[in-house]
Amino acid sequence: MKKHVIRSVSWILTLILILMSASLASCADTENETVDTTEAPSAIDTAGATAEATAEDTTPEFPEANYGGDSFVIISRSPTASSYPAFYIGTEEPTDVMSSAVYTRNTVTEEKYGIKIEQLVSDSIDTSIRNGISAGSLEFDVVLNQREKLAALATSGYLYDFNNLGIDFNTPWWDANCAKGYEIDGKLYIMANDTSVSNLAGARFFFFNKNLIKNYQLTSPYAYIQEDNWTLDNFLGLVNAVYSDDGDQIRTGNDIYGLLMETGATNGNAIHLLVGCGIEFSTKDEEGMLKVDLDIDKIDNIFGKLSAVLKGDTCLDYTGAADGAEYSEFGNKYNYGRNLFAQDHFLFVQANMGVTNQVSDMEGEGYGIAPNPKYSPDQESYYHKMDKLSLIWGIPNSESLDFTKIANVMDYWAYESSRTVMPAYYEITIKSRRINDPNDIGMLDIVKSTIVYDISEVFGIDVTSALWNGYTNNAIASAWATQNKAVQRQITTFNNGIQKLG
């Protein structure tokens, strides 16, 4: 495991401030995210910025402690994992914008609490946690892993309750919506904060092709949003307006379509669009326990609209787009499909913030960003579903750990990240380098502020599976009637199990 050397970081802090205030005109997955390799200036004048930062110091108060050089170890997926890598956690030297921000955050936190931040990469995180707790000794303090996998550990008693840490989750560097959404029976086993950018990158929205908007003389989603009329009907109207065969009368990725479609109960477009229309997969009763009570009539209406378009000629899924093509250079059919979007073969694709680097070099008008459409103009808010496979924090439930130390470090580390890593990622890497239209900055802000944290899917309750079956078979009422009893049994088992946990 790698250790950091404590060094002076004032020049790096100033670098971040300068980069944040600079006007950066160039534009550049959670599935295949890459580190920004922009070189830092070789020399800068830090005196004025440092004095100004000192004069306006508004640092909140954090508990004082010194842990005598102890390691603070994060076990996580690899930063180079093919899907949802655990990037921007540890680094040794500041070589670019992002690594400078990470280095600053980590070093300041190390100095604050007398620790050494280390990242332990593992392909068997679950086994390491189970075995370590059983043995009464762990080599790590916290875990960053896919939320679905952490949820499975939580129901078996292997995760510690964040609510016992005494942290105020309403501070800006923690996600209060996450704390509310993932709390069950007053317990909170998985949590998001600004230390990891993975949570921010887990929500999906729509990219749209401006070249096709222009070529087909369509109303831009921007215009609908400006009029507060970005609705499911208008979205589907745009999708249905785009189709062109390349002349061979065979549906392939060489044709032009309204939507590059994703299927499946986890990330199928129909599931994300349900959330966008305000459908809640689960809620909680007055005692804070999970319950599911779906508005099947509304879902049936939405699915009817979706089936009429998404199952038609103007849509093609990733498998169909890649059929017969040689796409080994892209790694998988999803990267290849998004490349076809960038080559003007699709009007819309639904993806996450991390894939902006795959479409940022589009020619012509380029791409735009739109939130999930609303069900109707009078819907109170936009809504965006969080991918259950995206990363989130957990704490092993082991008496060998110092939970006061974990609380102190995680809180301060997240605070420092909110001042360095998160701004560098969101404001510089995403907004300034990969976004080429000022409208899209506002679109990303909408997405960021309207993420839905649904506990049922993360904890393995088969609501979305039942809904997807109903959608694919054009029979949501009968599908739900058939599977509702099984879902309710799952909920009863889940609630009973959670109540038994300490």
Determine the average pLDDT of the residues in 247-264. 95
**Residue 336: pLDDT over 50:** yes
**Residue 215: pLDDT over 60:** yes
How much is the pLDDT for 15? 45
How much is the pLDDT for 502? 67
pTM: 0.85
Listing DSSP states for 265-298 in one string gives: TTT-HHHHHHHHTT--S-EE-TTS-EE----HHH
Domains and CATH numbers, the chain: 10-200+389-436 (3.40.190.10), 204-385 (3.40.190.10)
The Cα–Cα gap between 394 and 77 comes to 13
Report the chain's mean pLDDT, rounded to a whole number: 88
**Residue 145: pLDDT over 70:** yes
The Cα–Cα gap between 132 and 201 comes to 30
Listing DSSP states for 142-206 in one string gives: EEEEEHHHHHHHHHTT-B--GGGG---TTSTTB-HHHHHHH-BTTB---B-BTT-STTGGGBEEE
How much is the pLDDT for 396? 98
The Cα–Cα gap between 76 and 89 comes to 9
How much is the pLDDT for 322? 96
Determine the average pLDDT of the residues in 240-253. 95
Q: How many residues does the chain have?
A: 502
Determine the average pLDDT of the residues in 23-33. 37
- 277 touches 302 (CB < 8 A): yes
Determine the average pLDDT of the residues in 89-103. 89
The Cα–Cα gap between 133 and 159 comes to 10
Determine the average pLDDT of the residues in 439-450. 92
How much is the pLDDT for 83? 81
How much is the pLDDT for 428? 83
How much is the pLDDT for 56? 58
How much is the pLDDT for 360? 82
**Residue 195: pLDDT over 60:** yes
**Residue 32: pLDDT over 50:** no
**Residue 343: pLDDT over 60:** yes
How much is the pLDDT for 3? 36
How much is the pLDDT for 200? 76
**DSSP-derived 3-state class of residue 365:** coil
Determine the average pLDDT of the residues in 113-135. 96
**Alpha-carbon distances, residue 390 vs 86, 201, 338, 374 (angstroms):** 10, 8, 19, 24
How much is the pLDDT for 271? 97
Determine the average pLDDT of the residues in 79-100. 88
The model's pLDDT over 374-406, given as tens digits with 9 standing for 90+, comes to 999 999 999 999 989 899 999 999 999 999 999
- 153 touches 129 (CB < 8 A): yes
**Residue 1: pLDDT over 70:** no
- 75 touches 120 (CB < 8 A): yes
**Residue 18: pLDDT over 70:** no
How much is the pLDDT for 7? 37
How much is the pLDDT for 274? 98
How much is the pLDDT for 358? 87
- Selected residue with higher pLDDT from 5 and 298: 298
**Residue 13: pLDDT over 80:** no
How much is the pLDDT for 181? 95
How much is the pLDDT for 25? 31
How much is the pLDDT for 217? 98
**Residue 5: pLDDT over 50:** no
How much is the pLDDT for 54? 42
Determine the average pLDDT of the residues in 466-471. 96
For residue 463, what pLDDT band results from cuts at 50, 70 and 90? very high
How much is the pLDDT for 93? 82
For residue 438, what pLDDT band results from cuts at 50, 70 and 90? confident
CA distance from start to end of the chain = 33
Determine the average pLDDT of the residues in 89-114. 93
For residue 45, what pLDDT band results from cuts at 50, 70 and 90? very low
For residue 240, what pLDDT band results from cuts at 50, 70 and 90? very high
